[in-house]
Homo-oligomer: A and B are copies of this chain.
């Protein structure tokens, strides 16, 4: 085999999701009790509460986050061409999000809003025992609407990747389906991350309709797929959803992952590169690895293994961003 370069579609993966700035803050146990926060939980907070918490703490690190944005970042770090569509406000956090994600090479040009709620923030309080307690303000990100969809991006990508988290907003939902239609007409494929079992419960029927009509590749974990199929059996849930899409990928943490494609069930083992410190972003970067392989014409088994390698690495470090060369990591561990 001899590989040369040419170019067809402009992007490998364009994703649509919440534009969230992850804010890492080290605190002691007392701080959590003073704020009435249950350690290890995720609490939705409003804009003003987020701003208050932000201003009264010392910020350890700020990084662009959000599930789909993480996936686009991973694609770019693997050497693919990635784009992201999501709403920020023209504030400090919005600027941080934009600067960080574009510095990785992800194309991001959704115009920021000038008025309304602040850019979404996820304040992550890390206690000395390495546990994470999160307060999320979704802010501007849920105000994504069909007008925010950059047509040239969704028609010029091999894969359009949608994040289920946005499904709570009717306008964002319209933006999703409008983008999916345009992408499909331009012969792109649609991938969906189910994102969250609670979100699925609230919108089960419309999620199933979305998958049935538009989605080629579904990413899910065991909880999410059981939730959407309304069963306590992962096997039954897989049977139910795999009929509705081309490829179903179920990630199962240390148990690895399963890829269902037509009459094939491919089991992929997990990779372990050290002690698990923080599983945030593991599913997101698995999707990066899988889709990177998929858009470069690799076999589904190789796609799954690239995803698994990336996820195995990201859980050994804090936060959803890799600080090493993912390309080298994959090259070293794939064969």
A residues near B (Cβ < 8 Å) are 1-9, 12, 158, 184, 187, 214, 216, 238-239, 242-243, 245-246, 259-268, 295-302
Bound-state CA distance A322–B243 (Å) is 33
Set of chain B residues within 8 Å of A239, measured between Cβ atoms: 6
| 6 nearest A-B residue pairs (beta carbon) | A297-B300, A299-B299, A4-B265, A2-B267, A8-B262, A261-B297
Tell me if B262 and A295 are in contact (CB < 8 A): yes
Q: A187-B246, A268-B1 are in contact. Are A262 and B296 (CB under 8 A)?
A: yes
Could you pull out 10 A-B pairs where Cβ atoms are within 8 angstroms?
Answer: A3-B264, A5-B263, A6-B238, A7-B263, A8-B262, A12-B262, A187-B245, A259-B297, A262-B297, A264-B297
Bound-state CA distance A267–B2 (Å) is 5
Bound-state CA distance A153–B230 (Å) is 30
Set of chain B residues within 8 Å of A246, measured between Cβ atoms: 8, 158, 187
Q: A184-B184, A187-B216, A187-B246 are in contact. Are A6 and B296 (CB under 8 A)?
A: no
Minimum C-beta distance from A115 to chain B (A): 40
Set of chain B residues within 8 Å of A214, measured between Cβ atoms: 187
Minimum C-beta distance from A216 to chain B (A): 6
Tell me if B297 and A6 are in contact (CB < 8 A): no
Name A262's contact: one of B1, B7, B260 (CB within 8 Å): B7
Tell me if B1 and A266 are in contact (CB < 8 A): yes
Known: A4-B265, A8-B243, A158-B246. 14 other contacts (CB 8 A): A1-B267, A2-B265, A4-B264, A5-B264, A6-B239, A6-B260, A6-B263, A6-B264, A187-B216, A187-B245, A261-B296, A262-B296, A299-B299, A299-B302
Q: A264-B3, A266-B3 are in contact. Are A298 and B299 (CB under 8 A)?
A: yes
Counting chain B CB atoms within 10 Å of each CB, which of A2, A3, A264, A302 scores highest?
A264
Set of chain B residues within 8 Å of A216, measured between Cβ atoms: 187
Tell me if A6 and B266 are in contact (CB < 8 A): no
Counting chain B CB atoms within 10 Å of each CB, which of A1, A5, A245, A246 scores highest?
A1
Bound-state CA distance A329–B265 (Å) is 24
Bound-state CA distance A296–B266 (Å) is 11
Residue of B nearest to A303 (CB): B297
Name A301's contact: one of B4, B187, B266, B297 (CB within 8 Å): B297
